[in-house]
Structure 1
Amino acid sequence: MTSPTTLDPAPSLLDRWRPRWVWPAVLANLVGQIVIVGTGGAVRLTGSGLGCSTWPQCEPGEFTPRFHDATSIHPFIEFGNRTVSGLLVAVGVVVALLVFTDRSRVRSYRWLGLAPLVGVLVQAVVGGITVLVDLHPAIVASHLLISMALVAVSMWLVVRTREGDAPPVSLVDGTTRGLMWVLAALTVVVLGLGVVTTGAGPHSGDDEIGYRFALDPYTVARVHSAAVWAFVVVLVAVLVRVLRAGVPGRARTTGWVLLGVTLGQGLVGYVQLFTGLPIALVNLHLVGAALLTAGVVSFAGSLRVRGDVSEVTPTLAV
């Protein structure tokens, strides 16, 4: 008969909830990180960055904007973006609780679960600084780039959640892996040039100043376009090698989706340029950049397999 002292302890509430809720939580976080790029873009494109004159309050003594005769739409656009940030904080807390406390997973994965919450808190501070320094272009640019980094980290968290903790096994050769690193570097270049292009144009974030970076917007746009075409060339090269290597279907599907998003981004970019940069298309381009970032990370994760540790070494303690 088993002694009561040798019985396993009852699972905690988080342990019981984790199998059901960890996957929806990490997906909700990813979606939220992409959505906030769109709401943040709306703030910038409508010149609503100072719709709330201070932070963390909207106006001195008031956390929310108020209706009055002189009220414009700008405070509500800015406050809406802050509200989405608050929701992301809540989702980040849930993700941190479900992932960081999961003792069955390796430490690197558990620490990754804290990244969305920490990142959103950092973004809230950067957003506040942006208001307090009257939309300094460097701070505005960093605000968007941090969002893109959070999208990448959130997508990687999704990748790691659906795979095990055994050592990764690559499905492609060294040359293809090298090309993926080039693709990742080009992603950073494309995003950076995109931020500079927007900051040099009429939708820089300030409705009183026609630009925030004193650069020729068409010259910057051409450089940005060249970087995108280089990205497309490298992506096609990776896809060809993946197809020739007979890599399983998920990698091929993810690669084709990424190519579709990239070509769609290029189309939107050219259309917005030749139609006078309408706000709706520019914001769609921003959201597309977030989708492209997530797609690159997802594609990279699909080029390997990583099973459970117990499947490889049954006696290994995690």
Structure 2
Amino acid sequence: MTTPATAPVRPPLLDRLRPRWTRPAIVANLIGQIVIVGTGGAVRLTGSGLGCSTWPQCEPGEFTPRFHEATSIHPFIEFGNRTITGVLGILAIVVALLVFSDRSRSAAYRWLGLAPLAGVAVQAVVGGITVLVDLHPAIVGGHLLISMALIAASTWLLVRSAEGDARPEPLVDRTTYGLRWLLAALTVVVLVLGVVVTGAGPHSGDEEVGYRFAVDPYAMARVHAASVWLFVAVLAVMLWRVLRSQVGGRPRTVGLVLLGVTLGQGLIGYVQLFTGLPIALVNLHMVGAALLAAGVVSFCGTLRTRGPVPVVPGAGAPAAAPLTAV
């Protein structure tokens, strides 16, 4: 008498999806976080911030703008940005489900997977407040800075998704490794001063509601430029030490790309200042700031390793090799 073969137990749906879809979902979330900085900038720079007069509806009783002869482009720009926010919310939910349910990873990594979703929820509330206070530059600037924090968290999630949970081991000398905190602090200073400069200038909010920060925009622009040059100096020192070390190619490549983004940002900043702040360049500068935030986090992540991604039996191989592989 033979015993019938036991059918293999099929893993839960998320366990089957995770190896293939976690990394693409995290990448898509990061791209979305950067894109929404550009669309949000378009809203602000075209004077479309009050294109929809209320929130969460566009107009009282209507969630979408209604086209008629007197309609301007502003409601559609604002509604388009809100639509992208919805897409970003869906991506954040997918990331949260895939990452937080991964019992093979550390609690810190799993909780990090909830950051995009929490951030999108906060941004939705802040966006509503922004409309209700008629685009006060402090709220508008805070809206942008939250986006930068979300980009940093999303980039760090991408870094952590491709490495294990072992104790971090520096790949560079102690001085270079310690400078990453100074570089991160200067990044915050650069971004905050950039927001103050914009909030003091002609693109602080809406075309009709003329709130401004009560500071000299040109004086603040000089302070902002000084902070950028200090950032460049610290980055150059770190990169020089990395290039002299025996560390592998990835820290060098990411560091050089970050330097290129930084110098490009500086060039755009000076050109826009001396050409009357055209909205196309200002918007490009905002997207560049988002890339800068992502670049700093990525570069700092390449300076240490935490071992390979744990492989769960029956779940397949990890989606990608560790980002910090030497």
Q: Is the shorter-chain TM-score for this pair beyond 0.5, marking a shared fold? A: yes
Give 2:13's aligned residue. 13
Q: Which moved more, 1:139-148 or 1:302-311?
A: 302-311
Give 1:224's aligned residue. 224
Give 1:179's aligned residue. 179
Q: CA–CA distance in 2 between the matches of 1:145 and 1:310?
A: 34
Q: CA–CA distance in 2 between the matches of 1:34 and 1:296?
A: 14
Deviations 1:82-119 (A, max 9, x none): 00000000000110111110111111111111110110
Letter in 2 for 1:69: E
Q: CA–CA distance in 2 between the matches of 1:56 and 1:209?
A: 21
Q: Helix, strand or coil for the counterpart of 2:178?
A: helix
Percent identical pairs in the alignment equals: 77
Name the structure where helix makes up a greater proportion of residues.
Answer: 1
Q: CA–CA distance in 2 between the matches of 1:262 and 1:237?
A: 14
RMSD: 1.7
Q: CA–CA distance in 2 between the matches of 1:281 and 1:303?
A: 33
Give 2:51's aligned residue. 51
Following TM superposition, by how much is the alpha carbon of 1:166 offset from its aligned partner in structure 2, in angstroms? Answer: 1.3
Q: CA–CA distance in 2 between the matches of 1:218 and 1:174?
A: 39
Give 1:243's aligned residue. 243
Does structure 2 conserve the Cα–Cα contact (< 8 Å) formed by 1:203 and 1:211?
no
Give 1:272's aligned residue. 272
Change in CA separation of 1:277 and 1:211 when aligned onto 2, cut-off 3 Å: farther
Letter in 2 for 1:301: G
Deviations 1:225-250 (A, max 9, x none): 00000000000000011111221100
Give 1:35's aligned residue. 35
Q: CA–CA distance in 2 between the matches of 1:105 and 1:118?
A: 20
Letter in 2 for 1:151: I
Change in CA separation of 1:286 and 1:251 when aligned onto 2, cut-off 3 Å: same
Letter in 2 for 1:62: E
Letter in 2 for 1:105: R
Does structure 1 conserve the Cα–Cα contact (< 8 Å) formed by 2:171 and 2:303?
yes
Letter in 2 for 1:294: A
Does structure 2 conserve the Cα–Cα contact (< 8 Å) formed by 1:145 and 1:192?
yes
Provide TM-score, normalisation by structure 1.
Answer: 0.94
Q: CA–CA distance in 2 between the matches of 1:36 and 1:70?
A: 28
Q: Which moved more, 1:223-232 or 1:160-169?
A: 160-169
Following TM superposition, by how much is the alpha carbon of 1:211 offset from its aligned partner in structure 2, in angstroms? Answer: 5.0
Structure 2: which 5+ runs fail to align?
Answer: 312-326
Change in CA separation of 1:287 and 1:309 when aligned onto 2, cut-off 3 Å: closer
Q: Which moved more, 1:302-311 or 1:14-23?
A: 302-311
Deviations 1:149-200 (A, max 9, x none): 0000000000000111111110122211221111100000000000000011
Give 1:95's aligned residue. 95
Structure 1: which 5+ runs fail to align?
Answer: 312-318
Change in CA separation of 1:73 and 1:309 when aligned onto 2, cut-off 3 Å: closer
Does structure 2 conserve the Cα–Cα contact (< 8 Å) formed by 1:201 and 1:211?
no
Q: CA–CA distance in 2 between the matches of 1:11 and 1:89?
A: 27
Query: Which 4+ stretches in 1 moved above 3 angstroms?
Result: 6-9, 308-311
**Which structure 2 residues correspond to residues 206-225 of structure 1 after superposition, within 5 A?**
206-210=206-210, 212-225=212-225
Letter in 1 for 2:172: V
Following TM superposition, by how much is the alpha carbon of 1:210 offset from its aligned partner in structure 2, in angstroms? Answer: 4.7
Does structure 2 conserve the Cα–Cα contact (< 8 Å) formed by 1:43 and 1:205?
no
Number of aligned residues: 308
